[in-house]
């Protein structure tokens, strides 16, 4: 073993560098739990630590059986797994609802190893420039076979202009484009190879719910391809270590599916202490990455592969890798960065391009330092591979300016424009863990860090900022609070070329002011407006205040001076406004030679009436209920009359039924009587002033009714498929409102209730013919009242033939054992056939297992007749079993009449029929299974063997006239 590589891998273990992983796909997922119930969930976390939440906000964690269960907080304050399997709200049992009544939503499990990545700077294992080989291995599991071919994945990794499924390019295309041609990948795809264990063995939840044995998956995959792959070609720097291996595992990854036993994509290391095979062709396996084959039922895109390979190149994660552990969850770089959630852009088919910071770290871009005052332009990074850096007095703190354009790999980023990053350069994988101190932080143009507002992160923002200074929000102050004194102003963007231009170190002559979107009502028709002055400018302004207008374009605006100015805060109070009018406002500084404005907002005045609330009905009986209301906000004039109006139609007014009172009020209630039973009533609080009548939002309630009683159905019946069943008897209902009518419903397993198929409106129900088990119930109507009866389940028995089980899919010429499984009913007879058309009974006991000696050559068809009680006889699935021939190497005769060449061969062989005789040719594999047969009289016959695995085959050539047989050994080899 190479001592250098061993030392490096051991160092990684000692310094506790563990998983760097792809974040969860946070879209809604749908799973089926082991109890058959549906669960919709949202994933949170990554490979190192993950959990999920239900659609209504309860935290859920996987149990030992990989089912998601509700989490709760124990007496020690830990968030732990309960015994209750999670499901959707509508499917929860009464017991589950009682349990959840004491469980808080939004519980945040804390990672047990939240600081796992803080001990070692990011480390690259793969050269970032040059033409470099990359090994990709496709792996499948006994319970999850691979769907797509090696050719399809070779195309995904290396085909120029790859576009399958809407992709924007291959993995090779992506890294070539982002590196500006400096990195040229040469991927080799091997496999698929079958691993020895099911997926859960490698991917079941372990500590912190991360995968339990992913390293074994990688080591085993390398061992399986070792015979056909020269691993030495993947050590590009000749340091004794394999630079990288990427594993594509069958199925979908846990990060997309939510399946607890699936593997989460990640990058990791295998060390000597793991005790796994890791030396191949004299090279040591250490670094690897992995991702899933599919998203849903289709082949996955390149996004996750490129994210994980970004780690292999040396990049950290730029999302919040400890989630809630350090001050809450930071939004971080979201879909702007492939090393955050940008790997999921366009479902992973068009991941976000590497940004300027990432390219600079990888040596693909030299940042241009802004030092001199002037006007600068900046093309999109995908067009130019250019970006600017603004330095600070501290070497590890700086700002990066890049232009992002929604084209090429950036087609699916949130918006086009200039992003400004505030960087505090450190070397761990927890860069953006603390929301209050993100060390690769986007300075959002709208000063709003939420996922809902990411489109507003870019400069210039039409409603917020076209400058970045020490005084604005966001501002260019350092983390220490010091002023940078390097203003960026007059940021513009050409919508055709997408080039961004700005002034640097050129303070604007005009003032910078910002309107606050916070109009404060002092009364119905008076309001207080507020604005901030960030920079006073070089001009003299005779008016500092607001522009007011009832038109959004301010065509008829009026200037109103601020009523107070203090500490750069402007306040203006407006009064005597019009009722029910929308006003637009913006901060304004007006001078002789210059006028500047802040962002515009609007507010709307009310009608001057009180704001009322209709209370919910109470004390509801058959013919009465208590109604009332309250006054939430006073109006401009006294209340003259108030009360409640009600009707059986929506939107009642005082022209309908109403109860009124004189004078003013705060709250009131009154009983309304004489109502109809089982009737919905709409009602609303109202009041009158000199301005007119004002109504609160309506509410509604339904009077009570006498319930229907004695709605019971009864029957005892069972039979076989196709039998005619009798009558389900229904009792005579009583109470309710009389005049009973009926509707019978039925359902089968897995379906919903439907109207019963026969006459379904009578008191009793005649079932008739049934071919499968069914359930029945009766709904009784009495005017607006209804009641549902108990359920009667009718058992319909069905004979089920099951299937025949053998040890292999071929039989020897001697006696072998056959077994019948999954049958319902008693075996009556075993049958066999040479052509699956003409059947005859086997002379054997009618048992579930028999000893059988084949009586046919080549193959035999088998089935079993089965009957449950007196139900119709059915047959098992037909099993086709190959019969082993006693052809062997001892049967080989001299090849004087027939010549097979080339031999060994890989794709085609020719059979030379020297005398042109009419012959039949058969080909048998190592298990004596016939894999080919044809008859011909050609002098030369071309046989395609490209679809047969490598190995030794026996070819039998039979003279159709003399019946003389020749056997020739054929070797198929592709290595």
CATH number at residue 566: 2.60.40.10
Q: Do 143 and 287 fall into the same domain?
A: yes
Q: By mean pLDDT, which of 393-407, 809-823, 922-936 is the weakest?
A: 809-823
Q: Which of 66, 100, 134 is the last residue of a domain?
A: 100
For 869, other C-beta atoms within 10 Å of its C-beta total: 10
Q: Do 484 and 417 fall into the same domain?
A: yes
Q: Do 591 and 625 fall into the same domain?
A: no
Q: Confidence band (pLDDT; 50, 70, 90) for 958?
A: confident
Of residues 168 and 859, more confidence is placed in: 168
Q: Do 600 and 615 fall into the same domain?
A: no
- pLDDT computed for residue 53 by the predictor: 86
Residue 25 has pLDDT above 70, yes or no: no
Q: What percent of the chain has pLDDT over 70?
A: 88
713 near 730, Cβ under 8 Å?
Answer: yes
243 near 188, Cβ under 8 Å?
Answer: no
Residue 650 has pLDDT above 90, yes or no: yes
The DSSP letter of residue 341 is G
Q: Do 356 and 415 fall into the same domain?
A: yes
What is the crossing angle of helices 303-313 and 171-178, to 10°? 50
567 near 559, Cβ under 8 Å?
Answer: no
- pLDDT computed for residue 472 by the predictor: 72
Rounded Cα distance between 8 and 4, Å, is 6
Is 306 inside any structural domain? yes
> Rounded mean pLDDT of 735-743?
89
> Rounded mean pLDDT of 169-187?
96
SS3 562: coil
Ordered DSSP codes for 776-836: EEEEEEETTEEEE---EEEEEE--B--EEE-SSSEE-SS-EEEEEES-BSEEEEEEEESSS
- pLDDT computed for residue 941 by the predictor: 85
Ordered DSSP codes for 241-285: B---EEEEESS--HHHH--TTSPPPEEEE--GGG----EETTEE-
> Rounded mean pLDDT of 811-826?
81
* Cis amide prior to 572 (ω within 30 degrees): no
Rounded Cα distance between 632 and 308, Å, is 57
- pLDDT computed for residue 889 by the predictor: 43
> Rounded mean pLDDT of 514-523?
89
Of residues 921 and 853, more confidence is placed in: 921
Query: What are φ and ψ of residue 53, in 5° steps?
Result: -130, 150
Is 735 inside any structural domain? yes
Q: Which of 51, 85, 100 is the last residue of a domain?
A: 100
Domain at 896, CATH number: 2.60.40.3080
SS3 372: coil
Rounded Cα distance between 502 and 484, Å, is 17
Is 87 inside any structural domain? yes
Rounded Cα distance between 457 and 459, Å, is 7
30 near 38, Cβ under 8 Å?
Answer: yes
Counting Cα atoms < 13 Å in the Cβ hemisphere of 344 gives 15
SS3 192: strand
The DSSP letter of residue 224 is H
Q: Do 546 and 693 fall into the same domain?
A: no
Domain at 827, CATH number: 2.60.40
Rounded Cα distance between 594 and 509, Å, is 9
- pLDDT computed for residue 106 by the predictor: 79
Beta strands per DSSP E along 496-640: 500-504, 512-515, 520-523, 526-535, 541-549, 558-561, 564-566, 569-574, 582-591, 595-597, 601-604, 611-614, 625-633
> Rounded mean pLDDT of 252-257?
85
Residue 936 has pLDDT above 80, yes or no: yes
For 64, other C-beta atoms within 10 Å of its C-beta total: 9
212 near 156, Cβ under 8 Å?
Answer: no
Domain count within the chain? 8
Query: What are φ and ψ of residue 15, in 5° steps?
Result: -90, 5
With a CB cutoff of 8 Å and minimum separation 6, the contacts of 495 are none
- Going from the C-alpha of 130 to that of each of 155, 354, 382, 571, the distances in angstroms are 21, 18, 20, 62
Q: Do 592 and 730 fall into the same domain?
A: no
SS3 172: helix
Q: Which of 445, 472, 504 is the last residue of a domain?
A: 504
With a CB cutoff of 8 Å and minimum separation 6, the contacts of 496 are none
Q: Which domain holds residue 285?
A: 124-203+213-244+276-313
Instruction: Encode burial over 793-829: b for 16+ CB neighbours within 10 A, e otherwise.
Output: ebebbbbebbbbeeeeebbeeeebebebeebebebeb
Q: By mean pLDDT, which of 20-29, 96-105, 333-342, 462-471 is the weakest?
A: 20-29
Is 928 inside any structural domain? yes
Rounded Cα distance between 474 and 468, Å, is 7
Give the N- to C-terminal CA distance of the chain in Å, as an integer: 27
Q: CA torsion 500→503→507→512, rounded to 10°?
A: -10
Q: By mean pLDDT, which of 48-57, 101-110, 130-139, 805-814 is the weakest?
A: 805-814
- pLDDT computed for residue 114 by the predictor: 37
Predicted confidence (pLDDT) per residue in 50-94, tens digit: 778 898 889 888 887 888 899 898 888 888 889 899 999 888 888
Residue 631 has pLDDT above 90, yes or no: yes
Q: Do 77 and 45 fall into the same domain?
A: yes
Query: Taking every pair of C-alpha atoms in the chain, what is the biggest distance, in angstroms?
Result: 124
- pLDDT computed for residue 207 by the predictor: 63
- How far is CA 54 from its chain centroid? 14
What is the torsional sign of CA 471, 477, 480, 483? Answer: negative
Is 2 inside any structural domain? no
334 near 26, Cβ under 8 Å?
Answer: no
Q: Do 830 and 877 fall into the same domain?
A: yes
Q: Confidence band (pLDDT; 50, 70, 90) for 437?
A: low
Rounded Cα distance between 825 and 848, Å, is 11
Q: What percent of the chain has pLDDT over 90?
A: 49
- pLDDT computed for residue 12 by the predictor: 36
Q: Confidence band (pLDDT; 50, 70, 90) for 439?
A: low
SS3 453: helix
With a CB cutoff of 8 Å and minimum separation 6, the contacts of 148 are 293, 294, 299
- Going from the C-alpha of 545 to that of each of 35, 513, 530, 531, the distances in angstroms are 66, 10, 9, 8
879-883 and 859-867 strand pairing: antiparallel
Predicted confidence (pLDDT) per residue in 572-615, tens digit: 999 999 999 999 999 999 998 889 998 899 999 999 999 999 99
Predicted confidence (pLDDT) per residue in 311-367, tens digit: 899 888 875 554 454 444 545 677 898 988 899 899 999 999 999 989 999 999 999
SS3 628: strand
- pLDDT computed for residue 884 by the predictor: 58
Q: Do 175 and 304 fall into the same domain?
A: yes
Is 328 inside any structural domain? no
Q: Do 668 and 755 fall into the same domain?
A: no
Residue 892 has pLDDT above 70, yes or no: no
Residue 6 has pLDDT above 50, yes or no: no
Instruction: Encode burial over 487-513: b for 16+ CB neighbours within 10 A, e otherwise.
Output: bbbebebeeeebbbebbbeebbebbbb
Average pLDDT, the chain: 86
Residue 168 has pLDDT above 90, yes or no: yes
Of residues 913 and 345, more confidence is placed in: 345
Ordered DSSP codes for 891-958: GB---SSEEEESSSBSSEEEEEETT---EEEEEE-TT--EEEEEEE--SEEEEE-TTSPSEEEEEEEE
Residue 116 has pLDDT above 60, yes or no: no
Q: Confidence band (pLDDT; 50, 70, 90) for 743?
A: very high
* Cis amide prior to 460 (ω within 30 degrees): yes
Q: Do 535 and 490 fall into the same domain?
A: no
Residue 717 has pLDDT above 50, yes or no: yes
Q: Write down how long the chain is.
A: 975
Which helix or strand (DSSP H or E) is residue 416 part of?
Answer: none
- pLDDT computed for residue 413 by the predictor: 94
Is 86 inside any structural domain? yes
Is 414 inside any structural domain? yes
pTM over 0.75: no
526-535 and 520-523 strand pairing: antiparallel
- How far is CA 945 from its chain centroid? 43
- Going from the C-alpha of 738 to that of each of 408, 622, 732, 763, 790, the distances in angstroms are 72, 16, 11, 14, 20
């Amino acid at each position: 073993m190479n001592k250098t590589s061993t030392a490096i891998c051991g160092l990684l273990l000692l310094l506790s560098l563990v998983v760097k992983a792809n974040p969860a796909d946070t879209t809604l997922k749908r799973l089926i739990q082991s109890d058959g119930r549906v669960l919709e969930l949202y994933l949170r976390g990554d490979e190192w630590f993950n959990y999920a939440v239900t659609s209504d906000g309860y935290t859920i964690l996987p149990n030992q059986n990989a089912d998601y269960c509700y989490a709760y907080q124990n007496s020690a304050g830990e968030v732990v797994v309960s015994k209750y399997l999670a499901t959707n709200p509508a499917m929860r049992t009464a017991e589950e609802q009682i349990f959840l009544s004491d469980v808080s939503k939004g519980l945040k499990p804390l990672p047990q190893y939240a600081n796992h990545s803080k001990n070692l700077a990011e480390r690259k294992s793969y050269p970032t420039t040059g033409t470099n080989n990359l090994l990709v291995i496709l792996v499948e599991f006994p319970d999850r076979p691979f769907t797509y071919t090696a050719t399809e994945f070779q195309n995904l990794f290396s085909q120029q202009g790859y576009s399958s499924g809407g992709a924007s390019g291959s993995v090779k295309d992506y890294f070539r484009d982002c590196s500006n041609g400096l990195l040229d990948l040469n991927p080799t795809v091997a496999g698929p190879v079958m691993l020895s264990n099911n997926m859960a063995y490698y991917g079941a939840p372990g500590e912190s719910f991360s995968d339990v044995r992913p390293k074994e998956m990688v080591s085993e995959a390398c061992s399986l391809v070792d015979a056909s792959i020269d691993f030495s070609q993947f050590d590009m720097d000749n340091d004794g270590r394999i630079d990288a291996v990427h594993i594509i595992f069958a199925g979908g990854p846990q990060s997309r599916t939510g399946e607890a036993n699936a593997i989460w994509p990640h990058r990791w290391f295998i060390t000597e202490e793991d005790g796994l095979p890791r030396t191949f062709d004299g090279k040591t396996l250490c670094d690897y990455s992995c991702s899933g084959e599919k998203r849903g039922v289709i082949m996955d895109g390149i996004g996750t592969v490129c994210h994980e390979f970004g780690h292999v190149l040396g990049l950290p994660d730029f999302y919040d890798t400890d989630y809630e552990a350090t001050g809450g969850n930071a939004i971080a770089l979201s879909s702007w960065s492939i090393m955050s959630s940008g790997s999921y852009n366009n479902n992973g088919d068009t991941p976000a391009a590497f940004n300027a910071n990432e390219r600079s770290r990888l040596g693909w871009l030299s940042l241009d330092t802004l030092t001199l005052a002037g006007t600068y332009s900046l093309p999109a990074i995908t067009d130019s591979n250019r970006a600017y850096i603004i330095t600070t007095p501290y070497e590890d703190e700086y700002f990066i300016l890049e232009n992002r354009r929604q084209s090429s790999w950036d087609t699916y980023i949130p918006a086009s424009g200039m992003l400004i990053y505030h960087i505090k350069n450190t070397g761990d994988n927890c860069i953006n863990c603390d929301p209050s101190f993100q060390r690769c932080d986007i300075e959002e143009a709208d000063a709003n860090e939420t996922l809902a507002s990411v489109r507003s992160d870019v400069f210039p923002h039409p409603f917020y900022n076209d400058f970045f200074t020490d005084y604005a929000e966001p501002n260019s102050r350092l983390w220490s609070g010091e002023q940078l004194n390097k203003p960026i102003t007059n940021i513009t963007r050409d919508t055709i070329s997408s080039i961004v231009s700005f002034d640097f170190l050129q303070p604007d002559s005009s003032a910078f002011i910002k309107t606050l979107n916070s109009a404060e009502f002092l009364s119905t028709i008076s309001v207080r407006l507020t604005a901030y002055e960030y920079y006073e400018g070089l001009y003299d302004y005779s008016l500092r205040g607001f522009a007011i207008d009832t038109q959004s374009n301010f065509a008829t605006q009026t200037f109103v001076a601020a009523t107070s100015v203090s500490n750069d805060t402007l306040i203006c109070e407006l009064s005597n406004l019009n009722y029910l009018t929308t006003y637009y406002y913006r901060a304004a500084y007006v001078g002789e030679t210059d006028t500047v404005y802040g962002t515009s907002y609007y507010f709307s005045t009310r009608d001057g009436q009180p704001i009322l609330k209709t209370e919910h009905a109470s004390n509801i009986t058959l013919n009465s209920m208590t109604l009332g209301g309250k006054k939430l906000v006073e109006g401009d004039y006294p209340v003259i009359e108030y009360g409640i109006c009600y009707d059986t139609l929506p939107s009642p007014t005082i022209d309908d039924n109403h109860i009124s009172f004189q004078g003013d009020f705060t709250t009131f209630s009154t009983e309304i009587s004489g109502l109809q039973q089982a009737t919905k009533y709409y009602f609303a609080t109202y009041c009158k002033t000199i301005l007119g009548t004002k109504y609160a939002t309506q509410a509604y309630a339904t009077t009570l009714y006498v319930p229907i009683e004695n709605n019971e159905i009864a029957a005892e019946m069972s039979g076989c498929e196709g039998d005619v069943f009798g009558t389900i008897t229904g009792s005579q209902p009583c109470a309710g409102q009389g005049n009973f009518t009926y509707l019978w419903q039925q359902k089968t397993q897995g379906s919903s209730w439907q109207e019963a198929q026969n006459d379904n409106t009578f008191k009793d129900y005649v079932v008739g013919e049934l071919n499968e088990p069914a359930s029945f119930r009766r709904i009784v109507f009495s005017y607006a009242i209804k009641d549902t009866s108990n359920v009667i389940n009718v058992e319909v028995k069905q004979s089920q033939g099951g299937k025949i089980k053998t040890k292999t899919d071929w039989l020897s010429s001697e006696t072998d054992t056959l077994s019948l499984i999954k049958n319902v009913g008693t075996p009556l007879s075993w049958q066999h056939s040479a052509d699956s058309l003409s059947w005859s009974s086997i002379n054997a006991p009618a048992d579930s297992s028999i000893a059988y000696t084949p009586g046919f050559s080549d193959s035999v068809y088998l089935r079993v007749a089965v009957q449950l009680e007196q139900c119709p006889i059915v047959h098992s699935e037909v099993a086709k079993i190959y019969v082993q021939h006693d052809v062997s190497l001892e049967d080989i005769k001299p090849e004087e009449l027939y010549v097979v060449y080339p031999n060994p061969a890989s794709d085609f062989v020719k059979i030379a029929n020297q005398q042109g005789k009419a012959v039949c040719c058969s080909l048998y594999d190592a298990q004596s299974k016939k894999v080919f047969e044809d008859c011909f009289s050609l002098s030369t016959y071309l046989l395609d063997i490209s679809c047969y695995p490598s190995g030794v085959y026996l070819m039998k050539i039979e003279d159709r006239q003399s019946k003389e047989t020749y056997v020739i050994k054929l070797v198929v080899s592709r290595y």
